[in-house]
Chains A and B, each alone.
Chain A
Amino acid sequence: MTLTINNKKIKFKSGQTILEVATANGFAIPTLCYHSDLKVQANCRLCVVEIEGHDHLETACSTLALEGMKIITDSPRIREARRLNLELIFSEHEEKCVDCLRRFDCDLLKYAREYQANISRFTDRKKKRKTYCFSKAVEIDGGQCIDCKACLEACQTVQKINYLEIRGSGVDQEIVPTEDRDRACIYCGQCTLYCPAASAQEQSAVAAVEAALADKQKIVIAQFAPSLSISLREEFSSLNSENCEGKIKSALKQLGFDYVFDTGFGTDIASMLAAEELLKRLKDKQAVFPLITSSCPAWISYVEFYHPELLPHLSTIRSPHIQSAGMIKTYWAKKNNLNPRNIVLVSIGPCTAEKHESIRPELFVNGRPLLDQVLTIRELVFLIKKNRLDFSKLPKNDSADLFNGSGAAVIYGTPGGIMESVLHTATALSGAQKKNKISNNRLEFKTVRGLTGFKEAVVNLQGKRWRVGVVNGIANIEYVLPHLKKYHYLEVRSCPDACVGGGGQVIPTTKEIKKKRMAELYRIGKKRSIRWASENKAMLAYYNWVKEHKLEKKLLYTKFKRI
């Protein structure tokens, strides 16, 4: 099928929208409310184009391409409509550019420049709107919201949490948290991943981190998730992931962090403990099945609120970045004669729920939180850009740290990554290493009942067959709950495609981009000098130290409670 765009003949497939055809052929069309993974909204009216024979403009995002269509994507008439719609959008968006996390990547400003929109033609209408804060994790700033409804789609359709709602009509329309007391935010931050206007976003810890960095009395330490290198590679293009990791360390040092750690170390502790816990349960005839992973803090919030009856199923092991934080503030601090009270520990990862997790009192050690601040990847990118660090030219910091994580820790951020790491370690621990399939091959999962968000496999451990499953995205949990009894071990990840699509990931995050991230994580995971958690000697040394000092309860395990 063919049509013309700006007088150029173009082939397309039936079912494609004008926007898809145009983008695939290099015609740039501005969009704000559009996201390739979400239902088309067509409410920002920026992607308007001319179609011959139509008496008004049409939105490219919502109009199907048809045989013989003659489309114009840029003309004075189109530019005028886009300019006006931008000016109207800006009248709803209070410019808080000075410390806005999206400042360096703001689409609104980019288009305002492109279409010479007068961003203050109309007075800011929403200045008095409330900001809704959800724990320490996520916020919806009503004063910046442009009513595109991407966050609603994320909360209602993608996650099926239905915590955000739209209320009112016309200019009184507002995105608000529900008043339904049977619903709660799980802090997954998917809304923040899709918001084009920095209205739904993480509650920023940037100012607090900057203050700590400026404080000469404090030892400021960063620990970052191994998947960061993949995401920063997208932000600062033309880098390979291997170089990127070294550059992140340099960047953090230049920003003023005194020490930099790999959160992967904590991931290895978690894998090791999870493997032990799994083996113990498999031996115990009275044990509760399935055992369900507890590494995902949004999943924990979900269980506590929506399904407290599942609490006995949850693994009692602290999540990876809490594990490494515990190590740094006790074992490492002691070895280096540092007072943990002088340490400001900052965890950086693709997650907004970890911000909430960091203030959970049950994870405190000696009455204080282990993690002093949690930054999303976006907040780190903001710090790098704000401090004008030329990331691609930064030296590679290859300082061989003692506290690195294994390759298994690298793939932990992918759906199924926990399962793979834990099962491998469990196999190693049960001594069946060489003969067992799992130790050498990737797990063979199959998709269940056509659900892309759930897959299962049967594994051999200790001479028996066990059924395991991976829930990819919290929306899929409802399908799995009625069949729980079938399984022995379940991995649950709240964000679609796990941490690779985490609420704190870089923007844009799309299905295509996530696929690339996963492939890249698997590639560099294999290249790590330590492949599996069970081979991480530094981790094993730390584990022994904890056992010697009988600090297991304090540092390694946790309890969950009904909310």
Chain B
Amino acid sequence: MPKKLRKKNKRRNILELITEAGLVGRGGASFPVAKKWKLVKEALKTRKVAYIVVNGAEGEPGVEKDAYILKNYPEEVINGVYLANQFLGNQKIKKIYFFLNHSYWEKYLVQLQKVLSQRKYQSLAKKIIFTAKSKDLLYISGEETALLNYLEGRKIEPRLKPPYPTEQGLFNAPTLVNNVETFHDVSLVGRGKFDDKRFYSINGAVRQRGVFRLPATLTIEDVLRQTDNIPDFPFFVQVGGEAAGEVLNSDQLERPIEDAGAITVYDLEHTDKNKLLSHWLNFFAAQSCGNCVTCREGTYRLAELVKQKNHDQKVFTDLLTNLAESSFCALGRSLPFTIKSYYINILKKKI
């Protein structure tokens, strides 16, 4: 971008820039960032206090981009938060919470604080509270309302929506919750450097594991190819995380990657069906918060069911369908998505 245009950008409202860039949340739900910010700003017209929460829970197995971003671009993240704080009003933002995964919490804390010691971030630094998502915290603690419950010292479970956090979030005040990657992107937009790229985590049976920054419009196949990760053996992939991601076969790679940008490659011939099923089911059963009966009991019963040698396939299917139909939150609804896509796309079985 020419220097002149960049200067012009600086003077423009950050909200306009985000809208123009078409930025969407990188936490998984792909909610338009501008819309969220606007909602908080609207709510603040009648309220005195608001909060910002930086969601770095990164609970989804197979997704490691937040860690990568914090390691390599801590300044962008802080700057993104700075812009949000400026936009919503420094006076009104009472506290800013960084909720970070335990595995990298300590590793990158020093770096973040180093950035915060800069003059520019002086007033910001005073408001920031770092919180670790400890090992025993549930998967669902990354869901924004469950996260708010955690920060308030309440039971970790999703809240009923509405009211949305933008209106009544942390301690009932309007709250902006965005993912680490989202703040990173916001910063780039603010600097006029945003190029519509995103971070992809690549895991499993590949040559080049890791996090890669590539255009957001790439197909699964493009990503695998550009990272030199197309396997030379029969394989299948799980896209969007190793728990809640959709399972696709090697003929289905011509589609873009939505939600959390993650691809896990499985070796088709050397992956044990029952082990994989148990792995998924046990994960969900262990991570269910317990709030609604559909998920609390449903995930547990499914995990128990597959332990039996000849389990009742009808009950199995019924429970999965019911999770999709009547779970309280997206966690319960995502398990059948994973399992059913595995059955249909890989096992080629009706379910």
Contact = CB atoms under 8 A, between A and B. Distances in A.
Interface of A: 40, 42-45, 48, 56-57, 59, 62, 64, 77, 80-81, 84-85, 88-89, 91-92, 121-122, 125, 146-147, 166, 168-173
A48 B322 CA distance: 11
16 contacts: A42-B328, A45-B293, A56-B326, A56-B327, A57-B325, A81-B326, A88-B293, A91-B297, A92-B297, A125-B300, A169-B138, A170-B290, A170-B300, A171-B285, A171-B297, A171-B300
Contacts of B286: 170
Interface string B311-331: 000010011011011111000
Contacts of B298: 88
Given A88-B297, A169-B289, A173-B296, 15 more contacts: A43-B291, A43-B292, A45-B294, A80-B321, A80-B322, A85-B293, A85-B322, A88-B298, A91-B301, A146-B293, A147-B290, A169-B138, A170-B290, A171-B288, A171-B300
Nearest to A86: B293
Given A56-B325, A171-B300, A92 B285 contact: no
Contacts of A77: 325
Contact of B160 (A42, A56, A122, A168): A42
Given A40-B160, A147-B290, A147-B296, A121 B315 contact: yes
A122 B299 CA distance: 13
Contacts of B153: none
A81 B156 CA distance: 26
Contacts of B288: 169-171
B54 to A, nearest CB: 24
Nearest to B154: A166
A64 B294 CA distance: 21
A170 B287 contact: yes
A168 B333 CA distance: 22
Contacts of B289: 169-170
Interface string B44-76: 000000000000000000000000000000000
Contacts of B294: 45, 84-85, 88
Contact of B296 (A48, A56, A62, A171): A171
Contact of B293 (A44, A56, A168): A44
Contacts of B138: 169
Most chain A C-beta atoms within 10 Å of own C-beta, residue among B160, B290, B326: B326
A474 B325 CA distance: 41
B155 interface: yes
A85 to B, nearest CB: 6
Contacts of A91: 297, 301
Q: Which 7 A-B pairs have the closest CB atoms?
A: A173-B290, A88-B297, A170-B288, A84-B322, A43-B292, A45-B326, A81-B326
Contacts of A146: 293
B162 interface: yes
Interface string B161-173: 0100000000000
B57 to A, nearest CB: 16
A64 B293 contact: no
A88 B290 contact: no
A536 to B, nearest CB: 52
B63 to A, nearest CB: 22
B156 A84 contact: no
Nearest to A148: B293
Contacts of A56: 324-327, 333
B243 to A, nearest CB: 15
A42 B292 contact: yes
Contacts of A166: 155
Nearest to A174: B290
Given A48-B325, A77-B325, A171-B290, A84 B318 contact: yes
Nearest to B324: A56
A20 to B, nearest CB: 15
Interface string B128-160: 000000000010000000000000000111001
Contacts of B157: 169
Contacts of A89: 293, 297
B208 to A, nearest CB: 36
Contacts of A42: 160, 292, 328
A57 B285 CA distance: 22
A173 B319 CA distance: 20
A551 to B, nearest CB: 53
A43 B300 contact: no
A104 B333 CA distance: 36
B325 A92 contact: no
A544 B162 CA distance: 64
Nearest to A88: B297
Contacts of B324: 56
Contacts of B290: 147, 168-173
A81 B322 contact: yes
A171 B296 CA distance: 6
Contacts of A173: 290, 296
Nearest to A82: B326
Contact of B301 (A62, A88, A168): A88
A122 B301 contact: yes
A91 B297 CA distance: 8
Interface in B267-287: 285-287
Contacts of A170: 285-290, 296, 299-300
Most chain A C-beta atoms within 10 Å of own C-beta, residue among B156, B286, B293: B293
Nearest to B298: A88
A525 to B, nearest CB: 42
B129 to A, nearest CB: 24
Contacts of B162: 64
A1 B315 CA distance: 41
Contact of B292 (A40, A45, A81, A168): A45
A234 B289 CA distance: 39
B58 to A, nearest CB: 19
Nearest to A172: B290
Interface in B307-351: 315, 318-319, 321-322, 324-328, 333
B161 to A, nearest CB: 9
Contact of A147 (B293, B321, B322): B293
B302 to A, nearest CB: 11
Most chain B C-beta atoms within 10 Å of own C-beta, residue among A40, A168, A171: A171
